[in-house]
Amino acid sequence: MAWTSIAAIYFLFFVMSAFIMLPFGVRTADEAGVAKVPGQADSAPVNFQPGKVATRASVVAAVATALFVANYQYGWITAADIDFLPKPPAAAR
């Protein structure tokens, strides 16, 4: 597998894991006991830390990419393994 393919797969895993990680560890003003700013939405985060989200997403993406590349190399799970639908009947001529 080319390194550019691995980089693209890492980027996809990073974006996916970053969006999955966004709601974890975020507290609203009511939960934190902090006064709201006038006009602030009730669900607005008080302590959003994008660096922490990016770090967690980087680690998860690195592990997922390593597993994906290892599966590509060793063929642990192939497309035939996940083909659980019955085969269509042969077409009559």
Encode the chain (93 residues) as per-residue pLDDT tens digits. Answer: 899 999 999 999 999 999 999 988 889 999 999 999 899 998 899 988 999 999 999 999 999 999 999 999 999 998 888 888 888 888 766
pLDDT at 73 (0 to 100) = 95
Q: Number of structural domains, the chain? A: 1
Task: With respect to residue 16, please indicate whether it lies within any of the assigned structural domains.
Answer: yes
pLDDT at 92 (0 to 100) = 67
Domain that holds residue 24: 3-35+43-74
Q: Is 21 exposed, middle or buried (0-12, 13-18, 19+ CB in 10 A)?
A: middle
Cα dihedral across residues 44, 47, 51, 55: positive or negative: negative
Task: With respect to residue 89, please indicate whether it lies within any of the assigned structural domains.
Answer: no
pTM of the model: 0.78
pLDDT at 8 (0 to 100) = 98
Task: With respect to residue 80, please indicate whether it lies within any of the assigned structural domains.
Answer: no
